[in-house]
A and B are shown apart, each in its own frame.
Chain A
Amino acid sequence: MHHANHFYGHAHVLAAYCGLDPEDPPRINGYLQHGWNVVDGLGAGTPYVSGRPVFVWSEQTRRRAWSMGRRYATTVGAPFLYLLSMAEPDDGTAREGTIWYPFHGWEGQHIAGDHQRLIDEILETEDGPVTFCLYWHEYRDDRIRRRYEKAGRVICHGYRGLRRRDTDTRFLHHQLGELRRHRRVASNRLSSAVLYGAAVGCEPAVYGDPMQLAGEVRAIAERIRRQWPELHGKSPDPVAARESARAELGADVLASPAELRETLGWAVR
């Protein structure tokens, strides 16, 4: 339905899970939540057409969507967990260091924080090597990338794609591979990446300057901290954090391939 369904190769992962061609996922009959958020599951500015289902990650998000007037939210769980269920089990290689996701906005938004101050705090906190994972537009920005390169390894999982073009359909595969190499996952804001990391056994942490987006109110960040304290701080209890992260990703609601095919409108009759 909407091109955002293809972001991060989400539709491709779900197609593979459903036993369909992952290179050419069929049209999803609705809107797939493409990132963790504290609203109705849809991205900002998504032109929602009433009556189409919104496929959200968790029951909590569905309830929130309902309260915001979205009557057609259906809980399916995060595509990342579907990928995880298909992926080879963790090979048990010793994990090392921290994968750190500096908070970014989506394209077009500007970051007001000071990257260097954040880097200093990260290096002060983390006791092992740090891998910085930058969002694609920061990764392409030489000034930003170089600043991080001075402090550690810098990677990018790929381009999420736009209007179904240039999508790195193995974005989540890269992310899963990297997360499994690290003992910790951290960010300056609670985000999909931290939840993914916690779900695959990284010790999560959320600390540092949350780098307010231009014009965005601080209230949302504070609300997130109040609601998910178990995922915040420099070293929160990893067991409680993992449980909370799995709930946010909808670990208990994942559908079977057959049910998912029916739900997404992919059943061929």
Chain B
Amino acid sequence: MRHIGGEMAGWSDATPTGGPAYGHLLEALRPLVQAGTRVLVAGPHDPGLVAGLPGELTCLVRGEQDADLWEDLPVAVLCGSLAKLTDQFDVIIALDGVARLCTVEGPQYDWTESLQALCRALRPGGALLLAVENELGVHKLVDRTVVTSAHTDADWRPVGEYDDKPGTPARLRDRLTAEGLTVSWLGSAWPLPAAPSFIADEPTLRHGPAGALAAAASGAAGAAYARRRVLSDPRRLSSAAIRAGLGAELAPAWVVLAFRGMAGPVRLPPVVLGTGPMPQLPPGQLLEELLIGACLRHDLPAIRRLLAAWVAEQPTATANNVLVDGDVFAVLDETRPRVEPAIAVRRFATTLLAGGYEQPWPAAGDTDSLTAVLLAAAGLHPDPVPADDEPLPAPDSLREHEERVRRLEEQLADAAARIRHVESELVVRDGELRRARLQIDMFSGKVGYRVTRLGARAARKAVRILKNR
């Protein structure tokens, strides 16, 4: 470890950037990294991410504790502030962005100044792989915390959207060009900047199969946000953005490969999903979305058609893992676990209710009832309604909570109205019953019998009185 100045003793940056998708990008970058190529890994990165790269690796960290992470690796460690960096490199990897490169000591570079500093550290012809967090990305839109309010020790300068960071891919490209860089590839990354699992480049997002891409982004968001507290469901937002053609604009982060001077001879994959390139993208739209759309439109024939075809074609795949293109029902991700057909239907019922989606059977307000209706509509036997032993954890969304509260209030008011109605019916029926009993008594001779008995008793009493006199 070499101290370059401005280093922070006893400091460590939380959650270094990593993830399988970035791993695959770096694999694709290998043609640029020969033995002897000088590579700078700027900022907190998961050591596993870059450990396999050939070349002379150097990493720049702010805290001395973070330097320890790299101890066992053949990596030179520079500890200190970006402002003190004087060396030059052939390749710079800055997938953590530039926000964690300056320390508390010395100048506090904004985004542009940080980029300029990195450019100065890049040899002519060198390559920069840079991630830029989108302050209006889906991850920020669903965040329940205020970015510009400081929460941790690392937030000594929580500028958030008040930084001079570019806000769109087009502006990012312009800003890099202005610094003398040539952008050769620009990808949009989901679901979180620090660990994306889905990255798609610009032409793919613009011209590729929107349904499959939306499904991939939604799936990535679902996995990353399971049980996490959010404002609204990031799955819906990601997917809607991509389908609407706003995928790149609302992506949590952008990743660019830029060269100082002419673009170099390297091709990055158009789409990365998980640990590798996304397999051939089937056309079509996600079954779950088609079903939700049909429910919102109250299109019963379409709902029944989709359900029946689903259980016939891909019965063990969940609705969020099936792409529908006309009559073709294809599985989106073969690695996701398969379930019983009835469980798959139940999970869709859960999604409908949890999301507060309008659907044609409003009286079926609980999962069991709605599952039963959907199973029947799908042509499956709804008896018994299956239990889901391993329900998929979903994002814990405030908006959906509000919807649920609203619905519960309605149900409560309805229940109260129903009780009032039933009580008044009860009064009417009690009256009817009383009258009916009276009639039964009359016609069964009971009254006559009693009258006779009373009369006989009175007569006996009279006789007794007379005798006693």
Contacts and interface: CB of A to CB of B under 8 A. Distances in A.
A20 interface: no
B160 interface: no
Contact of B415 (A51, A256, A261): A51
B414 interface: yes
B421 A256 contact: no
Contacts of B384: 269
Interface in A70-113: 71-75
Interface string A17-36: 00000000000011000000
Nearest to A268: B383
- In this complex, the member of A30, A47, A62, A269 whose beta carbon has the largest number of chain B beta carbons within 10 angstroms is A269
23 contacts: A29-B363, A30-B363, A47-B421, A49-B418, A49-B421, A50-B413, A51-B363, A51-B414, A52-B363, A52-B418, A59-B299, A63-B298, A72-B362, A74-B360, A74-B363, A253-B300, A255-B376, A255-B377, A258-B381, A259-B376, A262-B364, A263-B361, A267-B372
B301 interface: yes
B148 interface: no
A258 B372 CA distance: 9
B373 A262 contact: yes
Contacts of B369: 262
A167 B362 CA distance: 30
Contact of A267 (B363, B383, B414): B383
Contacts of B300: 59, 75, 252-253, 255
Contacts of B410: 51, 71
Given A29-B363, A50-B413, A252 B301 contact: yes
A259 B377 CA distance: 5
B301 A263 contact: no
Nearest to A62: B298
Contacts of B282: none
Band of interface residues on A: 20 to 34
Interface in B260-311: 298-301, 304
A176 B373 CA distance: 30
A263 B364 CA distance: 8
- In this complex, the member of A73, A258, A265 whose beta carbon has the largest number of chain B beta carbons within 10 angstroms is A258
A258 B375 CA distance: 9
B382 interface: yes
B417 interface: yes
A204 interface: no
A197 interface: no
Interface in B346-377: 360-364, 369, 372-373, 376-377
Per CB-CB distance, the 4 closest pairs between chain A and chain B, nearest first, are A51-B414, A258-B376, A259-B376, A53-B363
A23 B446 CA distance: 34
- In this complex, the member of B300, B372, B377, B381 whose beta carbon has the largest number of chain A beta carbons within 10 angstroms is B300
Nearest to B361: A74
A122 to B, nearest CB: 38
Interface of A: 29-30, 47, 49-53, 59, 62-63, 71-75, 252-253, 255-256, 258-259, 261-263, 265, 267, 269
Nearest to A258: B376
A77 B362 CA distance: 16
B116 interface: no
Nearest to A261: B376
Interface string B386-423: 00000000000000000000000011011101100100
Interface of B: 298-301, 304, 360-364, 369, 372-373, 376-377, 379, 381-385, 410-411, 413-415, 417-418, 421
Contacts of B298: 59, 62-63, 75
A198 to B, nearest CB: 21
Nearest to B300: A253
- In this complex, the member of B363, B369, B384 whose beta carbon has the largest number of chain A beta carbons within 10 angstroms is B363
Contacts of B382: 258, 262, 267
A71 B383 CA distance: 28
- In this complex, the member of A50, A261, A262 whose beta carbon has the largest number of chain B beta carbons within 10 angstroms is A262
A28 to B, nearest CB: 11
A71 B413 CA distance: 13
A256 to B, nearest CB: 7
Contacts of A72: 362-363
Nearest to A51: B414
A256 B376 CA distance: 8
Nearest to B384: A269
Contacts of A269: 383-385
B9 to A, nearest CB: 63
Contact of B362 (A53, A63, A255, A258): A53
A223 B379 CA distance: 40
Nearest to B381: A258
A74 B411 CA distance: 17
Nearest to A264: B363
Nearest to A73: B362
Nearest to A254: B300
B377 to A, nearest CB: 5
A263 B414 contact: no
B231 to A, nearest CB: 26
Given A74-B363, A75-B298, A262-B376, 8 more contacts: A52-B414, A62-B298, A71-B410, A73-B362, A258-B376, A258-B379, A259-B373, A263-B373
A74 B373 CA distance: 12
A253 B361 CA distance: 13
A258 B385 CA distance: 13
Nearest to A257: B376
B411 A51 contact: yes
B417 A50 contact: yes
Nearest to B362: A72
A246 to B, nearest CB: 13
Nearest to B370: A262
A194 B81 CA distance: 85
Contacts of A59: 298-300
A73 B369 CA distance: 16
Nearest to A30: B363
Nearest to B421: A49
A215 B418 CA distance: 32
Contacts of B381: 258
A29 B372 CA distance: 15
A259 B418 CA distance: 25
A51 B372 contact: no
A51 B413 CA distance: 8
Contacts of B360: 74-75
Contacts of A52: 363, 414, 418
Contacts of A62: 298
